[in-house]
Structure 1
C-alpha cells in the first residue's frame, strides 16, 4: 500500500515539472490529478480513456487509483453535465477513486511517452521535436526501411491492419510520429514537406 499523495508526487517527478508546466499552457485536457479519492492506494488501474465501462471494471478489480491518457473531461454544454458524465462521476465518488489524467504529457514525454515508445518499438531514434508544441517527434532509422516493412511493424505494434497508400517505393529513413494532436494546419504541412 502507498499513500495517494506520495504516489502523485512520484508520478509528477517522473513526468517532470517542465513538461507539466508546458502542458498547462498548451493543453486544455487534464495533465495531473483531477479527483482525489482514498488516501491509501492498494491497486492502480491504467486506461486510455475514462469511461463508465472502465470504471466499473476498475472497481470490480478493487482499484482505487486510476491513471488515464484521457482523464475526466469536465467540459459541459451550458453548464449541464451529460447523463454519461453524471454516471462516471457517481462511480468515481461512490467508490472514492482517485482520477489522474496525462494527455499532453503522455504524448510529449521523450522517454516514456506514447510517441517515444512507438519510435523505440519501430527501431528508430528520436532526433528532434516534430511541429507545434511538441506533440510528436522526428526519428531516424540506422538503415532505411522499406514502406512494406514499416507498415508491417506498425501493424504489429498497434495490433491491427494498417491502411496505407504506398505511392512511392523509396525506402524511408526519417519518420515523424504523432499519436495525438496530429491534425496539422497549412503552415505545419508546409514545414513537414520541407523536412
Structure 2
C-alpha cells in the first residue's frame, strides 16, 4: 500500500507537535522525493553510509533524528553536503528529520524510549515547562549498585559507558540522550544519584565529583537509537507501510 508523502509528513508533524518547539534546525520534510510512499527507512543520522543503505533498501523516505541545515553552519552546497543531497535527489528519496521534537515526545521520544530500555520509571522532566531542557527524571524500581547499573547499560546499548564514580547505590536518575551533558546541574538540583547522557565534557567530571553525583556517558549515537525506531514503527502501523531501521555503527 502506498500513501501520499504529504499525508505522511502531516501526520509526523502533528504527532510530534513540531510547531510548539523552537529548534536548531528545520523539523519535518528537509528534502522532497517521490510523491508516494511505501517504504520508510529510519536511522539516527543522515550520514552518507545511511543514505547508501537507504538506496540499497529501496527507501521512499529516510527518517532520521539528525538531519541537515543546522543553524550557524555554512549554507553552501559543497563537499559532503553536496554528495549527500545528490544521493537523495538522484534516487528520489525524501529526507524527514526530527530533532528536539523527537527527544521530548512522551511516547516515542528518545528519552522515554531509553528509559524503557534501561528499566527506569519516569517521574517527570528535569526542568518542567522548559522545552529546551529535554531531560527526564526517574527512579529504578529497586536500587542498584552503580557498577551493576553500568553493566546493564553496557548490555542494552552494546558499549561500555564512561563512568564517574558517585554514590555506591543508585535509585534516582536524571538523563538526557545525546549531547546532554550540560544538563547535569538540573539533575544535581533534582537530587539525582546518577546523571546519564551520551557525551561528556571536561568540566562534567568536576561537576559530578564536587556535587557527589555519579555520571555516565553512554554514547550520543547509542542513546539515541530508539526514538527514531519507535517513530518509524508508529508511522508504519498508522499507514500500513514497510519500515526498516538501519543502524550505522558510530562509537561516539
Contact 2:39 2:59 in 1 (8 A): yes
Match of 2:12 in 1: 11
Match of 1:163 in 2: 162
Matched residue SS, 2:162: coil
Match of 1:177 in 2: 175
The Cα shift of 1:13 comes to 3.1
| TM-score (normalised: structure 2) | 0.67
Alpha-carbon separation, structure 2, partners of 1:80 and 1:163: 37
Match of 2:25 in 1: 29
Change beyond 3 A, Cα 1:165–1:76 = closer
| TM-score (normalised: structure 1) | 0.85
The Cα shift of 1:107 comes to 1.2
Contact 1:59 1:95 in 2 (8 A): yes
Higher relative CO (Cα under 8 Å, sequence separation at least 6) belongs to 2
**Unpaired runs of at least 5, structure 2:** 191-252
Change beyond 3 A, Cα 1:2–1:99 = same
Divergent runs of 4+, >6 A:
none
Alpha-carbon separation, structure 2, partners of 1:36 and 1:162: 38
Contact 1:72 1:99 in 2 (8 A): no
Q: RMSD of aligned C-alpha atoms?
A: 1.9
The count of corresponding residues between Structure 1 and Structure 2 is 185
Alpha-carbon separation, structure 2, partners of 1:49 and 1:122: 22
The Cα shift of 1:181 comes to 4.5
Match of 1:192 in 2: 187
Alpha-carbon separation, structure 1, partners of 2:111 and 2:39: 27
Alpha-carbon separation, structure 2, partners of 1:106 and 1:63: 21
**Unpaired runs of at least 5, structure 1:** none
Contact 1:29 1:70 in 2 (8 A): no
Match of 1:127 in 2: 123
